[in-house]
Structure 1
């Protein structure tokens, strides 16, 4: 689907040249891989091509190594949305003001990289939801006060769109019996236009009424993420944890 090549950098724990070769060989088996450079000293793998970052992570993990995406595309051309469930079946749902400290279940991740003035690739993965057909949209606002219900309609600004419908209508994909699904989408918008808006993935038919926070609807704000070589931290200045300790924490929350 992707027609423009882009560069992505991953942190990968490697101890020798054999590790680097194993990772490189695994990645070259993927469609759309043009170049792989594995640096054992810096513990990073740079990949150039059109393959989805999520597919690259899976290929690296298949070698027995873990991988963390450190940056994608050029500066100011990448974004991410962590998709969480706002469904609250218990008493908290009846509170006028939800607890600020609520920890929500992460149910998906959307990585975005702009590869041309008229093309942004969206690598979307979800898990832990019911099987079926889902629709991904970018919303008018990023207001998550009431979860998906407060994000407004589908982003419909005129401009770089092709006139075929709302600009925020990304398309549909299928979640399998294991509760997992993915999509690799090419959409005609620029990253800066989507920053601060919300992304929603849901089975709901909006023609029947506004979105609700049901168990199979996930939502997250679209925020800037690092471009290639923009992120060289190995320890978080906020928590003092290494990036691998942070990775463990996020996986326990449900991050893919």
Structure 2
């Protein structure tokens, strides 16, 4: 599900650029991408900044298809004077109910949250390697993944209502993510119910089955609780993250690796663990 975004925002990408030819390749991709109002490519800083309504997850995928390593470094609003009210990220790094099990080869997921203003939170989610079809997406009340999704608690529900859709259900109900035949899925939502400061430290779970949005009358009790969406298959903790131009790190303080080496190490770890 990709909503039609009403507000413009800014996304900063770190892109592995080595020469003018790289700049030209990336520029050609961005010029043809719908929803990008303007962009800037800085070769010396290996930075690409876009402004517009284009979902960052789709832009990131298009940039990666040029064969380059791409990392989202921060997001914010297009109007620098306005600023943003907070940003968060959820990296799905636990598979199913076994926190010791590395993600199967080809499976990954990332969600980013930007509080555009006091009323609106932009949620941008992308996954790879899931079964084609619809999968429920929920924010859970606890940031505990010691037993995988089983220890994340119930859906985040500060208003005490029944499960439902992203407009009337639990605050943590985000509806369904639709995965295509190639295993890719994107979901972009502008929510007036979720606030970044309320969800940092909680968790996010993607379920095996489609969420019925609380409308299944045959299994009403289960439907009003979790939408009959089944067990979790991906989960992660929501953590505070940088806005646009707030993260200037080029080298990881933990191991001295550049951000490109670090990104490849993470990917290699997922593959070698299988």
Superposition TM-score, scaled by structure 1 size: 0.83
Corresponding residue for residue 154 of structure 1:
155
Asked if the contact 1:75–1:228 (Cα under 8 Å) also holds between the matched residues in 2, the reply is: no
Report how far residue 254 of structure 1 moved.
4.8
Q: Write the deviation string for residues 202-233 of structure 1: whole angstroms up to 9, x where unpaired.
A: 0346917889995x611111001111111111
Hey, what's the Cα distance between the residues in 2 that align with 1:237 and 1:76? Answer: 27
Alignment correspondent of 1:231: 247
Asked if structure 2 preserves the Cα contact closer than 8 Å seen for 1:84 and 1:218, the reply is yes
Query: Equivalents in 2 of 1:179, 1:16: separation in Å?
Result: 32
Residue 70 of structure 1 corresponds to: 73
- Show structure 2 runs of 5+ residues with no match: 77-82, 212-220
Tell whether the 8 Å contact from 1:4 to 1:116 is kept in structure 2 after alignment: no
Structure 1 residues 167 and 61: CA distance shift in structure 2, 3 A: same
Give structure 1 regions of 4+ aligned residues with deviation exceeding 6 angstroms.
Answer: 208-213
Instruction: Identify the match of residue 88 of structure 2 among 79, 83, 105.
Output: 79
Pairing partner for 2:102 from 91, 101, 104: 104
Q: Deviations over 1:27-60 (max 9, x none)?
A: 1222211110111121111111121212111222
Residue 174 of structure 1 corresponds to: 178
For residues 62 and 6 of structure 2, what CA distance do their matches in structure 1 show? 21
Q: Equivalent residue for 1:118?
A: 119
CA positional deviation for 1:115: 1.8
- For the aligned residue pairs, the C-alpha RMSD in angstroms reads 2.9
Distance 1:103 1:231, change over 3 A: farther
Structure 1: 5+ residue stretches without partners: none
